[in-house]
Structure 1
Amino acid sequence: MSDSPLLRSPVGYRSRPAAVADVQEIHRLVAACEHQLHDRATTDADSISADLGQPGLDPACDTVLVHDHAGQLAGWAWVRGRRSTVDVHPGHRGRGLGPSLLAWAEARARRKGGDRLAQTVSDSDRAAAALLRSRGYSPLVTEWLLEFAMPDEPDVPEPPEGIVVRPFRPGDGPAVHQLAEDAFDEWQQRRQSYEEWALHTVERATFEPAASPIAFAGDQMVGAVLSLNGPGTEEGYVERVAVRHDHRNRGIARMLLREAFRTFHTHGKRTCTLWTHSDTGALSLYERIGMTVRRSSTVYSKELAAGRDGDEVDASHVPAVPPE
């Protein structure tokens, strides 16, 4: 018997775990949600694949897909550690799927011994925010998607004295991982293993080495920017920015970012984006570089009460979201 609580879907729907073969279908669902909220899709199939491949996530127990009677994917969810994601297709909202999937995620987190669960919700999605608040979630941090417009080729400042810059090369991954984890130690909850980190960065099919400049002081790596370049997109995307503590405030991050922007411009991109959040304190840095906020999201968190859920999660016992 599966160790995951079963999802009792609303009438007319059926559920099952996700698999690698479902990536494209899940991507279409996520893209539909993003189009409805933002008039554009920003998540690529590569990102969905990375989510399903996270170390410690067992798709057979930690994911659920919900299909309608015609076989269309109407919603999905996954849980790993203290994080989860729930998406419901715009055409299937208001039918109890969101509350049902959220209740399933909480039950699964409890089964795995979790004491807290967090989800990220776009600030444009007022219904999702209302649902989370109704179930006891509260805001934890704010995230911002920033953009840099590039109608002309961006200027790149000269490297600080003693700093040499080159693009990412095969074999740089472990050193960049060490640099990034050390740089983020001050605010992240835990260090990622190389396997987990690489899955979302240098081992993604969309990783763009040419737009991922690395800074060195002598033979020491002191800064890095890692970028993604999804096929068919009009924008470049910066996935990671890291500078070693003892080399901060020297303009290295600004230089590396503008080098990445310039590379994307030569590849035909006219906008570059990245995400940051309030715990990093980096928003003002990006604004000084010339980036502007396109939109924001909030990470909501909830302490899970002790106890073990039953084998089934019934949406009828979950409060509905009040109409807008």
Structure 2
Amino acid sequence: MSTADAAESATTDTTGAARPPAQTPAATPGSVAERAAAPTTLPAVRAGGLTWRGARREDAPAILALLNTTGEADGLPFRVALDEVTETLAAPYRDLDKDFLLGFEEPDHGPATSILRAYAQVSAPPGDATVARAILEGGVHPDRRGEGIGRELLAWQIARGRQKLAESALAARHVPAWLVVHMEDDAPERLGRTYERAGFAARRYYSFLRRDLSAPIASADVPDSDTGLRLTVWAPELDEALRLARNDAFRDHWGSQPRTRETWSEYRTAFMPSWTSLIVDDAPDTDALLASPDTDAETAAALRAGEPLVVAYQIASKYEDDFAVRGYTFGYSDNVGVRRAYRGRGLAPAVMAAGMRLMADDGMRYAALDVDTANPTGAVGLYAALGYEKQDGSRMLTIEL
């Protein structure tokens, strides 16, 4: 499991507050493009004497091997799967030549035996609406550390990130702009020092929680007062309704941005439809929802068209490559949310309990998830009440432009 989209951790409704305060920081003066101050050329990476080029789809196995070798050396509690790398390289909005930089060691007997020793990528999610983000990822093989490669590679990423922000759909807007990296709390100190020297500072903290599925699981029944609501599992005809529910649930979550149809199809290589629990409102008060200023345009169009309305959900995945690293099997809740108009009804515990039962029935030992420690909707307390306990943590670091 990679750290992609880590800022989008679980959100739920234990407080009953229909409208938590906005969590995105205010913009600073000047457009994104002005503040990005994008360089016209990118700094060269000369350290280590490697040969550098952009990425190709056929590089996926080499990138996978490098990422997992560095992950093992750094004690990361997860591993990346080949399908995840392949999916990243196939995303149509990523420019393989410009957004990736791969450094190869070429032995004396020719380039045919080149070995990937360093890797970097920069992505700017196309769905960003209120915050412009450039997300930086990469690594240097343990055998080639201490040569200055990582420092120069990070400088390249920052420069390319500034270019991506200046080229983004938000370039002319006066909204926050961030360069973003993610790091495990117990990552090597040298990594933290490298980020700090480059100007990054920790802005958000996340906890990885797990829950023993051998312990009793509470009822997954939808509250009796909500007779129009139906608990079900994911089906293809509900996927678009699920995307719209996710966007509504996360509008008041710090730093979270809408998922477009294009980005929604990503990060699904480990998706488990049979563990993904949904609550659908088969008889919504359409007039009231359409009259509400909280109803977004896409949801309004779906309501007028008579499309299904997902009101609460728990999206699950099975990251089998992480089982050996963690030392146990687990089902992972990638995302949990409740529509703003449906909060305070106890729907979050229902979808969570349903998901845990499905995972347990499939032989998983634990249920797991990551949660923003400053989640505004009471998620941390809910998970504690459901029996989840913290195992480790991570953080998001940013340069705010």
Using the size of structure 1 for normalisation, the TM-score is 0.83
Once residues 358 and 82 of structure 2 are traced to their aligned partners in structure 1, the CA distance between those partners, rounded to angstroms, is: 23
- The structure 1 residue matched to 2:258, chosen from 162, 166, 191, is 191
Deviates more, 1:109-118 or 1:268-277: 109-118
Q: Secondary structure at the match of 2:360?
A: helix
Quick one: distance in 1 between partners of 2:313 and 2:244?
A: 11
Which residue among 306, 313, 334 is the counterpart of 1:239?
A: 334
- 8 A Cα contact 2:245 2:339, kept in partner: yes
Letter in 2 for 1:5: L
**CA separation in 2, counterparts of 1:57 and 1:134?**
28
Partner SS for 2:336? strand
State the identity as a percent.
22
Q: Counterparts of 1:45 and 1:251 in 2: how far apart (Å)? A: 38
Stretch moving more, 145-154 or 128-137: 145-154
Stretch deviating more after TM superposition (47-56 or 171-180): 47-56
Q: Measure how far apart 1:185 and its partner are.
A: 0.7
Residue 95 of structure 2, aligned match among 33, 58, 67: 58
SS at match of 1:31: helix
Partner of 2:356, secondary structure, is helix
* 1:174-253 correspondence runs (5 A): 174-187=240-253, 188-200=255-267, 204-219=268-283, 220-231=309-320, 233=323, 234-253=329-348
The separation in 2 between residues aligned to 1:226 and 1:113, in whole angstroms, is 30
**C-alpha offsets along residues 213-265 of structure 1, whole Å, 9 cap, x if unaligned?**
11023344211111112456432221111111122233222221222122122
Q: CA deviation at 1:133?
A: 0.7
Provide closer, same or farther for how the CA distance between residues 54 and 169 of structure 1 changes in structure 2, counting only shifts above 3 A. same
Of residues 386, 391, 395 in structure 2, which corresponds to 1:289?
A: 386
- Greater shift after overlay, 263-272 or 53-62? 53-62
Does residue 264 (structure 1) correspond to residue 353 (structure 2)? The answer is no
Residue 119 of structure 2: aligned partner: 76
The 1:142–1:170 alpha-carbon spacing in structure 2 relative to 1, beyond 3 Å, is same
Once the two structures are superposed, what CA deviation does each residue of 1:122-177 show, in whole Å capped at 9, x if it has no partner? Answer: 11122211111111111111122222222357444322122321110112111100
Question: Is the CA contact 1:179–1:223 (under 8 Å) kept in the aligned structure 2?
Answer: yes
Aligned position for 1:151:
214
Instruction: Find the residue that maps to 1:269 and give its secondary structure.
Output: coil
In the aligned structure 1, how far is the partner of 2:315 from the partner of 2:49?
A: 44
Partners of 1:78 and 1:171 lie apart in 2 by: 34
- Runs of 4+, deviation exceeding 6 Å: none
**Counterparts of 1:5 and 1:20 in 2: how far apart (Å)?**
23
Is the counterpart of residue 122 in structure 1 residue 188 in structure 2? no
Which whole-Å CA distance do the structure 1 matches of 2:398 and 2:194 have between them? 13
* Residue 136 (structure 1) aligns with: 199
**2:259 aligns to what SS in structure 1?**
coil
Supply the AA of the counterpart residue of 2:282.
G
Normalised by the size of structure 2, how large is the TM-score?
A: 0.68
Structure of greater Rg: 2
Unaligned runs of 5+ in 1: 305-324
**Structure 1: distance between partners of 2:314 and 2:375:** 16
Residue 47 of structure 2: SS of its match in structure 1?
Answer: coil
User: What is the CA distance between 1:299 and its match in structure 2?
Assistant: 1.0
Change (3 A) 1:26 1:153: farther
SS at match of 2:101: strand
Do the aligned residues in 2 keep the contact of 1:177 with 1:197 (CA within 8 Å)?
yes
Report the residue type matching 2:58 in the other structure.
A
Q: SS in structure 2 opposite 1:124?
A: coil
Tell me, in whole angstroms, the C-alpha distance in 1 between the residues paired with 2:75 and 2:348: 29
Change (3 A) 1:138 1:39: closer
The gaps in structure 2 that reach 5 residues or longer are 1-39, 108-113, 125-133, 167-176, 284-308, 324-328
CA distance in 2, matches of 1:189, 1:211: 24
